[in-house]
Chains A and B, each alone.
Chain A
Protein backbone atom coordinates (compact mmCIF):
# COMPACT_ATOMS: atom_id res chain seq x y z
CA UNK A 1 0.00 0.00 0.00
CA UNK A 2 3.03 2.25 0.20
CA UNK A 3 3.07 5.19 -2.16
CA UNK A 4 6.21 4.61 -4.27
CA UNK A 5 6.93 8.34 -4.32
CA UNK A 6 7.11 8.42 -0.50
CA UNK A 7 9.39 5.45 0.00
CA UNK A 8 12.09 7.76 1.26
CA UNK A 9 10.11 9.39 4.05
CA UNK A 10 9.06 7.50 7.18
CA UNK A 11 5.71 8.68 8.52
CA UNK A 12 6.05 10.09 12.03
CA UNK A 13 3.53 11.10 14.69
CA UNK A 14 4.27 13.08 17.85
CA UNK A 15 3.53 11.45 21.22
CA UNK A 16 1.31 14.44 22.07
CA UNK A 17 -0.18 16.98 19.71
CA UNK A 18 1.72 19.89 21.32
CA UNK A 19 5.05 18.42 20.19
CA UNK A 20 5.85 19.79 16.74
CA UNK A 21 8.22 17.57 14.78
CA UNK A 22 10.65 18.63 12.07
CA UNK A 23 14.30 19.47 11.77
CA UNK A 24 14.10 21.53 14.96
CA UNK A 25 11.31 20.09 17.11
CA UNK A 26 9.59 22.31 19.63
CA UNK A 27 6.63 22.42 22.00
CA UNK A 28 3.66 24.52 21.09
CA UNK A 29 1.06 26.03 23.44
CA UNK A 30 -2.40 27.52 22.98
CA UNK A 31 -1.98 31.09 24.12
CA UNK A 32 -5.02 33.13 25.13
CA UNK A 33 -5.33 36.13 22.82
CA UNK A 34 -6.57 38.30 25.64
CA UNK A 35 -4.48 37.51 28.76
CA UNK A 36 -1.64 35.46 27.23
CA UNK A 37 -2.13 32.49 29.56
CA UNK A 38 -0.68 29.37 27.97
CA UNK A 39 -2.18 25.87 27.82
CA UNK A 40 -0.77 22.68 26.38
CA UNK A 41 -4.11 20.94 26.14
CA UNK A 42 -7.24 21.75 24.16
CA UNK A 43 -9.32 24.35 26.01
CA UNK A 44 -12.91 25.48 25.55
CA UNK A 45 -12.17 28.85 27.10
CA UNK A 46 -9.34 30.47 29.00
CA UNK A 47 -9.22 29.37 32.66
CA UNK A 48 -7.74 32.74 33.55
CA UNK A 49 -9.89 35.32 31.74
CA UNK A 50 -12.70 33.28 30.07
CA UNK A 51 -11.86 34.47 26.56
CA UNK A 52 -12.22 31.76 23.92
CA UNK A 53 -9.68 32.80 21.32
CA UNK A 54 -6.25 31.22 21.26
CA UNK A 55 -3.16 31.39 19.09
CA UNK A 56 -0.50 28.69 18.77
CA UNK A 57 2.83 29.86 20.17
CA UNK A 58 6.25 28.27 20.10
CA UNK A 59 7.88 27.49 23.47
CA UNK A 60 11.61 28.02 23.78
CA UNK A 61 13.46 24.72 23.87
CA UNK A 62 15.81 25.47 26.76
CA UNK A 63 14.99 25.90 30.41
CA UNK A 64 15.82 25.33 34.05
CA UNK A 65 14.65 22.52 36.36
CA UNK A 66 12.53 24.09 39.11
CA UNK A 67 11.33 20.84 40.64
CA UNK A 68 11.80 17.11 40.20
CA UNK A 69 11.14 13.71 41.69
CA UNK A 70 12.61 10.30 40.95
CA UNK A 71 9.81 7.78 40.70
CA UNK A 72 11.14 4.43 41.83
CA UNK A 73 7.94 2.41 41.64
CA UNK A 74 7.93 0.06 38.70
CA UNK A 75 10.72 -1.65 36.79
CA UNK A 76 12.70 1.42 35.67
CA UNK A 77 13.16 4.57 37.75
CA UNK A 78 12.48 7.82 35.95
CA UNK A 79 12.88 11.50 36.66
CA UNK A 80 9.77 13.67 36.44
CA UNK A 81 10.57 17.37 36.33
CA UNK A 82 9.11 20.81 35.95
CA UNK A 83 11.17 22.93 33.59
CA UNK A 84 10.81 26.69 33.38
CA UNK A 85 11.20 27.60 29.71
CA UNK A 86 11.61 31.36 29.96
CA UNK A 87 8.41 31.82 31.94
CA UNK A 88 6.40 28.88 30.63
CA UNK A 89 6.51 25.88 32.98
CA UNK A 90 6.67 22.52 31.19
CA UNK A 91 6.15 19.07 32.67
CA UNK A 92 8.45 16.40 31.34
CA UNK A 93 10.61 13.37 31.96
CA UNK A 94 14.34 14.06 32.11
CA UNK A 95 16.30 11.86 29.71
CA UNK A 96 20.01 11.32 29.18
CA UNK A 97 20.73 11.60 32.90
CA UNK A 98 21.09 8.98 35.63
CA UNK A 99 17.94 8.90 37.77
CA UNK A 100 19.81 9.61 41.02
CA UNK A 101 19.71 12.64 43.34
CA UNK A 102 23.45 13.00 42.74
CA UNK A 103 22.97 13.56 39.00
CA UNK A 104 19.74 15.56 38.98
CA UNK A 105 19.90 19.01 40.52
CA UNK A 106 17.39 21.78 41.10
CA UNK A 107 18.31 24.69 38.86
CA UNK A 108 20.13 22.56 36.28
CA UNK A 109 19.94 23.79 32.66
CA UNK A 110 18.19 21.47 30.24
CA UNK A 111 17.06 21.42 26.62
CA UNK A 112 14.35 19.72 24.60
CA UNK A 113 15.24 16.40 22.98
CA UNK A 114 13.19 13.87 21.03
CA UNK A 115 13.48 10.12 20.61
CA UNK A 116 11.63 7.37 18.71
CA UNK A 117 9.34 5.20 20.83
CA UNK A 118 8.37 2.57 18.29
CA UNK A 119 6.61 1.82 15.04
CA UNK A 120 2.96 0.78 14.62
CA UNK A 121 1.47 -1.83 12.25
CA UNK A 122 1.39 0.67 9.39
CA UNK A 123 5.03 1.61 9.81
CA UNK A 124 4.36 4.96 11.45
CA UNK A 125 6.98 5.95 13.94
CA UNK A 126 6.02 7.68 17.19
CA UNK A 127 8.32 10.40 18.48
CA UNK A 128 8.34 11.42 22.15
CA UNK A 129 10.10 14.27 23.90
CA UNK A 130 12.03 14.79 27.07
CA UNK A 131 14.49 17.34 28.42
CA UNK A 132 18.16 16.53 28.71
CA UNK A 133 21.08 18.34 30.40
CA UNK A 134 22.26 21.21 28.19
CA UNK A 135 25.45 20.57 26.28
CA UNK A 136 26.70 24.12 26.68
Chain B
Protein backbone atom coordinates (compact mmCIF):
# COMPACT_ATOMS: atom_id res chain seq x y z
CA UNK B 1 0.00 0.00 0.00
CA UNK B 2 3.01 2.30 0.20
CA UNK B 3 1.72 4.96 2.57
CA UNK B 4 0.52 4.42 6.12
CA UNK B 5 -1.96 1.71 6.96
CA UNK B 6 -5.54 2.66 7.68
CA UNK B 7 -7.42 1.21 10.65
CA UNK B 8 -11.06 0.84 11.61
CA UNK B 9 -11.49 2.02 15.20
CA UNK B 10 -15.25 2.49 15.31
CA UNK B 11 -17.96 0.40 13.70
CA UNK B 12 -21.69 0.01 14.05
CA UNK B 13 -24.78 -1.17 12.26
CA UNK B 14 -28.41 -0.72 13.25
CA UNK B 15 -30.71 -3.69 13.36
CA UNK B 16 -31.83 -4.34 9.80
CA UNK B 17 -35.56 -4.67 9.25
CA UNK B 18 -38.58 -2.42 9.40
CA UNK B 19 -38.13 0.94 11.13
CA UNK B 20 -41.38 2.77 10.38
CA UNK B 21 -40.81 5.22 13.21
CA UNK B 22 -37.42 6.37 11.90
CA UNK B 23 -36.50 8.29 8.75
CA UNK B 24 -33.30 7.91 6.73
CA UNK B 25 -31.48 10.57 8.75
CA UNK B 26 -32.56 8.98 12.06
CA UNK B 27 -31.08 5.66 10.99
CA UNK B 28 -27.87 7.28 9.73
CA UNK B 29 -27.58 9.24 12.99
CA UNK B 30 -28.04 6.13 15.10
CA UNK B 31 -25.26 4.23 13.32
CA UNK B 32 -22.94 7.26 13.18
CA UNK B 33 -23.24 8.24 16.84
CA UNK B 34 -22.74 4.61 17.87
CA UNK B 35 -19.66 4.25 15.65
CA UNK B 36 -18.19 7.46 17.12
CA UNK B 37 -18.85 6.19 20.64
CA UNK B 38 -17.23 2.86 19.69
CA UNK B 39 -14.13 4.84 18.57
CA UNK B 40 -14.21 7.01 21.71
CA UNK B 41 -14.44 10.09 19.46
CA UNK B 42 -16.80 12.95 18.66
CA UNK B 43 -17.59 14.76 15.40
CA UNK B 44 -14.89 17.31 16.29
CA UNK B 45 -12.29 14.59 15.59
CA UNK B 46 -13.63 13.70 12.12
CA UNK B 47 -11.99 15.34 9.09
CA UNK B 48 -13.97 13.88 6.21
CA UNK B 49 -17.41 12.34 5.81
CA UNK B 50 -18.46 9.89 3.08
CA UNK B 51 -22.18 9.16 2.98
CA UNK B 52 -23.94 6.63 0.80
CA UNK B 53 -27.66 6.58 0.06
CA UNK B 54 -29.20 5.37 -3.17
CA UNK B 55 -32.90 6.13 -2.98
CA UNK B 56 -32.34 9.84 -2.18
CA UNK B 57 -29.08 10.26 -4.08
CA UNK B 58 -29.75 13.92 -4.84
CA UNK B 59 -30.89 14.91 -1.36
CA UNK B 60 -27.56 15.58 0.32
CA UNK B 61 -28.12 13.04 3.08
CA UNK B 62 -24.56 13.72 4.32
CA UNK B 63 -25.36 17.33 5.12
CA UNK B 64 -28.73 16.35 6.56
CA UNK B 65 -26.90 13.92 8.82
CA UNK B 66 -24.44 16.63 9.96
CA UNK B 67 -27.37 18.78 11.04
CA UNK B 68 -28.42 16.03 13.46
CA UNK B 69 -25.05 14.90 14.80
CA UNK B 70 -22.69 17.87 14.36
CA UNK B 71 -21.99 20.54 11.74
CA UNK B 72 -18.25 21.09 11.83
CA UNK B 73 -17.66 22.36 8.30
CA UNK B 74 -15.71 19.29 7.11
CA UNK B 75 -15.93 18.10 3.48
CA UNK B 76 -18.85 15.78 2.78
CA UNK B 77 -18.96 13.38 -0.14
CA UNK B 78 -22.44 12.09 -0.98
CA UNK B 79 -21.98 8.98 -3.10
CA UNK B 80 -24.19 6.55 -4.99
CA UNK B 81 -22.87 3.43 -6.69
CA UNK B 82 -25.75 0.94 -6.80
CA UNK B 83 -25.38 -1.88 -4.25
CA UNK B 84 -21.70 -0.93 -3.80
CA UNK B 85 -22.66 2.50 -2.46
CA UNK B 86 -21.64 1.80 1.15
CA UNK B 87 -18.27 0.37 0.15
CA UNK B 88 -17.76 3.43 -2.06
CA UNK B 89 -18.45 5.80 0.85
CA UNK B 90 -15.87 3.92 2.89
CA UNK B 91 -13.39 4.03 -0.01
CA UNK B 92 -13.77 7.82 -0.05
CA UNK B 93 -12.95 8.08 3.66
CA UNK B 94 -10.00 5.68 3.29
CA UNK B 95 -8.63 7.52 0.25
CA UNK B 96 -8.81 10.88 2.04
CA UNK B 97 -6.94 9.45 5.03
CA UNK B 98 -4.36 7.72 2.83
CA UNK B 99 -3.86 10.90 0.83
CA UNK B 100 -2.96 12.66 4.06
CA UNK B 101 -5.83 15.14 3.87
CA UNK B 102 -7.00 14.17 7.35
CA UNK B 103 -6.21 11.66 10.10
CA UNK B 104 -9.79 10.60 10.76
CA UNK B 105 -12.57 9.72 8.34
CA UNK B 106 -16.14 8.60 8.78
CA UNK B 107 -18.26 6.59 6.35
CA UNK B 108 -21.99 5.99 6.59
CA UNK B 109 -24.38 3.96 4.47
CA UNK B 110 -28.12 4.19 4.97
CA UNK B 111 -31.28 3.07 3.19
CA UNK B 112 -34.99 2.78 3.79
CA UNK B 113 -36.39 0.10 1.53
CA UNK B 114 -39.02 -1.77 3.52
CA UNK B 115 -41.94 -2.42 1.20
CA UNK B 116 -40.12 -1.14 -1.89
CA UNK B 117 -41.05 -4.21 -3.95
CA UNK B 118 -39.17 -5.55 -6.91
CA UNK B 119 -36.18 -3.46 -7.97
CA UNK B 120 -35.02 -3.03 -11.56
CA UNK B 121 -38.49 -2.66 -13.01
CA UNK B 122 -39.27 0.55 -14.86
CA UNK B 123 -42.64 2.20 -14.51
CA UNK B 124 -45.10 2.05 -17.39
CA UNK B 125 -44.39 4.53 -20.17
CA UNK B 126 -47.02 7.14 -21.05
CA UNK B 127 -49.28 5.71 -23.72
CA UNK B 128 -48.83 7.11 -27.18
CA UNK B 129 -51.28 6.84 -30.05
CA UNK B 130 -48.55 5.72 -32.41
CA UNK B 131 -45.42 3.58 -32.05
CA UNK B 132 -42.58 5.92 -31.03
CA UNK B 133 -39.06 4.51 -30.93
CA UNK B 134 -37.06 5.79 -27.96
CA UNK B 135 -33.80 5.17 -26.14
CA UNK B 136 -30.60 3.67 -27.43
CA UNK B 137 -32.33 0.56 -28.76
CA UNK B 138 -35.06 2.55 -30.48
CA UNK B 139 -37.63 0.44 -28.61
CA UNK B 140 -41.30 1.25 -29.10
CA UNK B 141 -42.32 -0.12 -25.70
CA UNK B 142 -41.05 -1.56 -22.42
CA UNK B 143 -38.52 -4.30 -23.11
CA UNK B 144 -39.34 -6.11 -19.84
CA UNK B 145 -40.71 -9.54 -20.74
CA UNK B 146 -40.47 -8.67 -24.43
CA UNK B 147 -36.67 -8.91 -24.64
CA UNK B 148 -35.83 -11.03 -21.65
CA UNK B 149 -35.74 -9.45 -18.20
CA UNK B 150 -34.22 -6.59 -16.26
CA UNK B 151 -35.64 -7.45 -12.85
CA UNK B 152 -32.90 -8.26 -10.37
CA UNK B 153 -33.98 -11.79 -9.34
CA UNK B 154 -34.15 -12.68 -13.05
CA UNK B 155 -30.81 -11.13 -13.96
CA UNK B 156 -29.04 -12.89 -11.10
CA UNK B 157 -30.86 -16.14 -11.81
CA UNK B 158 -29.30 -16.03 -15.26
CA UNK B 159 -25.89 -15.28 -13.74
CA UNK B 160 -26.11 -18.51 -11.74
CA UNK B 161 -27.59 -20.53 -14.60
CA UNK B 162 -24.82 -19.33 -16.91
CA UNK B 163 -22.28 -20.71 -14.43
CA UNK B 164 -24.22 -23.98 -14.39
CA UNK B 165 -24.15 -24.17 -18.17
CA UNK B 166 -20.42 -23.53 -18.23
CA UNK B 167 -19.36 -25.93 -15.49
CA UNK B 168 -22.37 -28.15 -14.72
CA UNK B 169 -23.92 -29.27 -11.47
CA UNK B 170 -25.83 -26.11 -10.59
CA UNK B 171 -29.37 -27.35 -10.00
CA UNK B 172 -32.38 -25.64 -8.44
CA UNK B 173 -31.77 -27.81 -5.37
CA UNK B 174 -28.14 -26.73 -5.08
CA UNK B 175 -29.07 -23.04 -5.19
CA UNK B 176 -31.78 -23.66 -2.60
CA UNK B 177 -29.23 -25.36 -0.33
CA UNK B 178 -27.07 -22.22 -0.44
CA UNK B 179 -30.08 -20.29 0.79
CA UNK B 180 -30.72 -22.92 3.47
CA UNK B 181 -27.18 -22.30 4.78
CA UNK B 182 -27.55 -18.54 5.01
CA UNK B 183 -30.94 -18.69 6.70
CA UNK B 184 -29.51 -21.20 9.19
CA UNK B 185 -26.62 -18.80 9.91
CA UNK B 186 -29.00 -15.89 10.47
CA UNK B 187 -30.56 -17.52 13.53
CA UNK B 188 -27.41 -16.49 15.44
CA UNK B 189 -27.43 -12.85 14.28
CA UNK B 190 -29.69 -10.60 16.36
CA UNK B 191 -29.22 -7.73 13.87
CA UNK B 192 -30.58 -9.73 10.91
CA UNK B 193 -33.95 -8.71 9.50
CA UNK B 194 -35.05 -12.36 9.35
CA UNK B 195 -33.82 -15.01 11.77
CA UNK B 196 -35.97 -17.89 10.63
CA UNK B 197 -34.43 -21.22 9.74
CA UNK B 198 -36.01 -22.77 6.63
CA UNK B 199 -35.94 -26.41 5.57
CA UNK B 200 -34.84 -27.18 2.03
CA UNK B 201 -38.44 -28.16 1.18
CA UNK B 202 -39.78 -24.89 2.51
CA UNK B 203 -37.31 -22.94 0.38
CA UNK B 204 -37.99 -24.91 -2.80
CA UNK B 205 -41.77 -24.83 -2.38
CA UNK B 206 -42.01 -21.15 -1.53
CA UNK B 207 -43.26 -18.62 -4.10
CA UNK B 208 -41.17 -18.75 -7.28
CA UNK B 209 -39.90 -15.27 -8.18
CA UNK B 210 -37.54 -15.98 -11.06
CA UNK B 211 -36.56 -19.61 -11.54
CA UNK B 212 -34.53 -20.91 -9.81
CA UNK B 213 -34.83 -18.14 -7.18
CA UNK B 214 -37.80 -18.56 -4.85
CA UNK B 215 -38.70 -15.82 -2.36
CA UNK B 216 -36.38 -16.90 0.50
CA UNK B 217 -33.54 -17.11 -2.05
CA UNK B 218 -33.84 -13.34 -2.70
CA UNK B 219 -32.37 -10.62 -0.52
CA UNK B 220 -34.93 -8.78 1.56
CA UNK B 221 -35.71 -5.11 1.06
CA UNK B 222 -35.44 -3.50 4.47
CA UNK B 223 -34.27 -0.46 6.41
CA UNK B 224 -30.89 -0.06 8.02
CA UNK B 225 -27.68 1.91 8.42
CA UNK B 226 -24.03 1.20 9.13
CA UNK B 227 -21.14 3.51 9.95
CA UNK B 228 -17.40 3.30 10.42
CA UNK B 229 -14.54 5.48 11.71
CA UNK B 230 -11.10 5.07 10.10
CA UNK B 231 -7.72 6.53 11.11
CA UNK B 232 -4.11 6.39 9.92
CA UNK B 233 -1.18 4.80 11.81
CA UNK B 234 0.01 8.01 13.43
CA UNK B 235 -3.40 8.83 14.77
CA UNK B 236 -3.88 5.28 16.02
CA UNK B 237 -0.65 5.49 18.05
CA UNK B 238 -2.00 8.57 19.84
CA UNK B 239 -5.20 6.85 20.95
CA UNK B 240 -5.86 5.08 24.28
CA UNK B 241 -4.89 1.43 24.51
CA UNK B 242 -8.58 0.49 24.91
CA UNK B 243 -9.16 1.79 21.36
CA UNK B 244 -5.89 0.45 19.90
CA UNK B 245 -6.45 -3.11 21.01
CA UNK B 246 -9.80 -3.25 19.23
CA UNK B 247 -8.49 -1.62 16.05
CA UNK B 248 -8.82 -3.63 12.84
CA UNK B 249 -6.36 -3.15 10.01
CA UNK B 250 -7.63 -2.50 6.48
CA UNK B 251 -5.13 -4.59 4.55
CA UNK B 252 -6.83 -4.00 1.21
CA UNK B 253 -9.48 -1.63 -0.07
CA UNK B 254 -10.39 -1.98 -3.74
CA UNK B 255 -13.13 -0.69 -6.00
CA UNK B 256 -13.44 -1.85 -9.62
CA UNK B 257 -15.84 -1.38 -12.53
CA UNK B 258 -16.55 -3.53 -15.59
CA UNK B 259 -13.89 -3.95 -18.20
CA UNK B 260 -15.39 -4.67 -21.62
CA UNK B 261 -16.05 -8.34 -22.23
CA UNK B 262 -18.12 -9.88 -24.99
CA UNK B 263 -21.67 -10.41 -23.81
CA UNK B 264 -21.66 -7.91 -20.94
CA UNK B 265 -24.17 -5.84 -22.88
CA UNK B 266 -26.80 -8.59 -22.82
CA UNK B 267 -26.16 -10.07 -19.37
CA UNK B 268 -24.26 -8.05 -16.76
CA UNK B 269 -20.89 -9.69 -16.14
CA UNK B 270 -20.52 -9.75 -12.36
CA UNK B 271 -17.59 -12.12 -12.61
CA UNK B 272 -14.74 -10.27 -14.29
CA UNK B 273 -14.80 -7.16 -12.11
CA UNK B 274 -15.12 -9.26 -8.95
CA UNK B 275 -12.18 -11.44 -9.97
CA UNK B 276 -10.17 -8.31 -10.83
CA UNK B 277 -11.00 -6.74 -7.48
CA UNK B 278 -10.11 -9.95 -5.63
CA UNK B 279 -6.78 -10.22 -7.45
CA UNK B 280 -5.91 -6.62 -6.57
CA UNK B 281 -7.05 -7.05 -2.98
CA UNK B 282 -5.04 -10.22 -2.35
CA UNK B 283 -1.99 -8.55 -3.83
CA UNK B 284 -2.47 -5.36 -1.79
CA UNK B 285 -2.89 -7.34 1.42
CA UNK B 286 -0.17 -9.89 0.71
CA UNK B 287 -2.77 -12.45 1.69
CA UNK B 288 -4.30 -15.32 -0.28
CA UNK B 289 -7.78 -16.80 -0.20
CA UNK B 290 -6.36 -19.72 1.80
CA UNK B 291 -5.59 -17.31 4.66
CA UNK B 292 -9.18 -16.10 5.10
CA UNK B 293 -10.99 -17.14 8.27
CA UNK B 294 -14.36 -15.82 7.07
CA UNK B 295 -15.94 -14.17 4.05
CA UNK B 296 -19.01 -11.96 3.68
CA UNK B 297 -19.93 -11.95 0.00
CA UNK B 298 -22.75 -10.35 -1.96
CA UNK B 299 -25.48 -12.99 -1.97
CA UNK B 300 -28.21 -10.67 -3.27
CA UNK B 301 -29.70 -13.93 -4.61
CA UNK B 302 -28.76 -17.54 -3.91
CA UNK B 303 -27.70 -17.87 -7.55
CA UNK B 304 -25.16 -15.06 -7.06
CA UNK B 305 -23.42 -16.62 -4.06
CA UNK B 306 -22.32 -19.64 -6.11
CA UNK B 307 -20.43 -17.65 -8.75
CA UNK B 308 -18.63 -15.52 -6.16
CA UNK B 309 -17.07 -18.58 -4.47
CA UNK B 310 -15.26 -18.87 -7.78
CA UNK B 311 -14.71 -15.15 -8.45
CA UNK B 312 -13.16 -14.64 -5.00
CA UNK B 313 -10.97 -17.70 -5.66
CA UNK B 314 -12.25 -19.57 -2.61
CA UNK B 315 -12.17 -22.62 -4.92
CA UNK B 316 -10.54 -23.61 -8.17
CA UNK B 317 -11.97 -22.07 -11.31
CA UNK B 318 -15.13 -23.98 -12.16
CA UNK B 319 -15.19 -25.64 -8.75
CA UNK B 320 -17.89 -23.66 -6.94
CA UNK B 321 -20.43 -26.50 -6.90
CA UNK B 322 -17.93 -28.94 -5.37
CA UNK B 323 -16.79 -26.25 -2.95
CA UNK B 324 -20.34 -25.81 -1.69
CA UNK B 325 -21.00 -29.55 -1.57
CA UNK B 326 -17.88 -30.04 0.57
CA UNK B 327 -19.59 -28.05 3.32
CA UNK B 328 -16.79 -25.46 3.34
CA UNK B 329 -18.97 -22.32 3.39
CA UNK B 330 -21.04 -23.41 6.39
CA UNK B 331 -20.02 -21.69 9.63
CA UNK B 332 -18.34 -24.86 10.90
CA UNK B 333 -16.73 -25.53 7.53
CA UNK B 334 -13.26 -24.79 6.20
CA UNK B 335 -14.16 -21.39 4.74
CA UNK B 336 -17.22 -19.87 6.45
CA UNK B 337 -19.21 -17.65 4.08
CA UNK B 338 -21.95 -15.26 5.17
CA UNK B 339 -22.11 -16.22 8.82
CA UNK B 340 -24.17 -13.04 9.29
CA UNK B 341 -26.98 -14.73 7.36
CA UNK B 342 -26.07 -12.87 4.20
CA UNK B 343 -28.33 -10.54 2.31
CA UNK B 344 -30.97 -13.26 2.01
CA UNK B 345 -31.74 -13.13 5.72
CA UNK B 346 -29.77 -10.24 7.23
CA UNK B 347 -31.51 -8.05 4.64
CA UNK B 348 -30.27 -5.64 1.99
CA UNK B 349 -30.80 -1.94 2.72
CA UNK B 350 -28.76 -1.16 -0.37
CA UNK B 351 -26.37 1.63 0.65
CA UNK B 352 -25.91 0.20 4.15
CA UNK B 353 -24.93 -3.24 2.85
CA UNK B 354 -21.40 -2.33 1.73
CA UNK B 355 -20.48 -1.15 5.23
CA UNK B 356 -22.54 -3.69 7.16
CA UNK B 357 -20.68 -6.60 5.56
CA UNK B 358 -17.37 -5.06 6.69
CA UNK B 359 -18.86 -4.50 10.14
CA UNK B 360 -19.55 -8.23 10.37
CA UNK B 361 -15.88 -8.99 9.71
CA UNK B 362 -14.80 -6.33 12.25
CA UNK B 363 -16.98 -7.88 14.96
CA UNK B 364 -15.46 -11.33 14.42
CA UNK B 365 -11.86 -10.05 14.31
CA UNK B 366 -12.49 -8.24 17.58
CA UNK B 367 -13.85 -11.47 19.06
CA UNK B 368 -17.14 -9.75 19.85
CA UNK B 369 -19.56 -11.75 17.67
CA UNK B 370 -21.17 -13.59 20.57
CA UNK B 371 -22.96 -16.82 19.66
CA UNK B 372 -21.91 -16.63 16.03
CA UNK B 373 -18.21 -15.91 16.69
CA UNK B 374 -15.84 -17.70 14.32
CA UNK B 375 -13.26 -18.76 16.87
CA UNK B 376 -9.80 -17.34 16.42
CA UNK B 377 -10.71 -15.28 13.35
CA UNK B 378 -7.72 -13.19 12.29
CA UNK B 379 -8.39 -12.35 8.62
CA UNK B 380 -11.63 -11.69 6.76
CA UNK B 381 -12.86 -10.46 3.40
CA UNK B 382 -15.98 -8.46 2.58
CA UNK B 383 -17.32 -8.25 -0.98
CA UNK B 384 -20.11 -6.22 -2.48
CA UNK B 385 -21.27 -5.68 -6.03
CA UNK B 386 -23.59 -3.11 -7.51
CA UNK B 387 -24.97 -3.75 -10.97
CA UNK B 388 -23.79 -1.44 -13.63
CA UNK B 389 -21.29 -2.42 -12.27
CA UNK B 390 -19.13 -1.57 -9.25
CA UNK B 391 -17.36 -4.08 -7.02
CA UNK B 392 -15.86 -3.31 -3.61
CA UNK B 393 -13.57 -5.67 -1.73
CA UNK B 394 -12.03 -5.06 1.68
CA UNK B 395 -9.63 -7.41 3.44
CA UNK B 396 -9.31 -6.87 7.18
CA UNK B 397 -6.80 -8.16 9.72
CA UNK B 398 -6.92 -8.37 13.48
CA UNK B 399 -4.40 -6.10 15.24
CA UNK B 400 -1.21 -8.05 15.95
- Residue numbers of A with Cβ under 8 A of B are 13, 15-18, 37-43, 47-48, 66-74, 76, 78, 80-82, 87-93, 101, 106-107, 117, 120-122, 124, 126, 128-129
Contacts and interface: CB of A to CB of B under 8 A. Distances in A.
B158 interface: yes
B130 A71 contact: no
Given A69-B153, A82-B148, 12 more contacts: A16-B143, A37-B260, A37-B262, A67-B161, A69-B211, A69-B212, A71-B154, A72-B210, A78-B145, A88-B262, A101-B212, A106-B165
A66 B267 CA distance: 11
Interface stretch (B53-61, B132-140, B282-290): B132-140
A66 B162 contact: yes
Interface residues of B, number: 45
Contact of B149 (A16, A17, A80): A80
Contacts, number: 139
A73 B210 contact: yes
B242 interface: no
B260 A70 contact: no
B210 A69 contact: yes
Tell me if B's interface is mostly helix, strand, loop or mixed: loop
B74 interface: no
Nearest to B162: A67
B131 A124 contact: yes
Interface of B: 118, 128-131, 133, 135-141, 143, 145-149, 151, 153-155, 157-159, 161-162, 164-166, 172, 207-213, 260, 262-263, 265-267
Contacts of B157: 69
A126 B211 contact: no
Given A68-B161, A120-B131, A15 B172 contact: no
A59 B262 CA distance: 14
B260 A13 contact: no
A124 B129 CA distance: 11
B161 A106 contact: yes
Contacts of A92: 147-148
Contacts of B213: 69
B163 to A, nearest CB: 9
A128 B143 CA distance: 10
A51 to B, nearest CB: 12
Which has the most chain B C-beta neighbours within 10 Å: A17, A71, A78, A87? A71
A17 B151 contact: no
A92 B146 CA distance: 7
A73 B151 contact: yes
Nearest to B139: A16
Contact of A67 (B129, B139, B165, B172): B165
A77 to B, nearest CB: 8
